[in-house]
Amino acid sequence: MNKGIQVQGVVFDIVSGSTDQAITQHPVIHFLTLNNVWITEPYYSSTFPVSLKKGQTVKVVYSPRDPKNFIIKPEGIGLYLPLAILMLGSVFLIAGVYKLLRP
C-alpha cells in the first residue's frame, strides 16, 4: 500500500472462528480516518494475530479510497522477524547444498 494514510488504531477485540482444519483468532481493529470516520473491522493476517492484545495500540495504514482496506504496520521485532527467518533459511539452504555437493 504505497499511497496509504497512517493513523493510530487500537485492537478493539479478538474474535474467534473456525475452519474445517483449524480454530482461528483475528483482531478487530478500531481507528479514525482523517475524514473523521470510525472504522471497526477484523484484520485477517497470519502475521500478528497471536501477538496482538485487546486494547493494544497499533499503527494502521489504510487506503484513502477504501478505509476498510488497511494493514497493520509492523513495529519492533515484527518489523525484522521475516527478514531474520529468510536469512536463517538461506544459511541452511547454502549449508545443505554445500554438504550435498562436497565429495
Which string of DSSP letters, residue by residue, matches 11-39?
EEEEEEEE-SS-EEEEEEEEEE-TTS-EE
- Count helices and strands (H / E) in the chain: 1, 5
Contacts of 5 (CB under 8 A, 6+ apart): 33, 34, 61, 62, 63, 64
Domain layout of the chain by residue ranges: 5-75
C-alpha cell at 19: 475452519
Read off φ and ψ for residue 99, nearest 5 degrees. Answer: -70, -35
The model's pTM is: 0.67
Confidence of residue 23 (pLDDT cuts 50, 70, 90): confident
* Residue 71 burial class via C-beta count within 10 angstroms: exposed 0-12, middle 13-18, buried 19 and up: middle
Reported as a single tens digit per residue, the pLDDT across 57-82 is 999 999 999 999 999 987 755 556 66
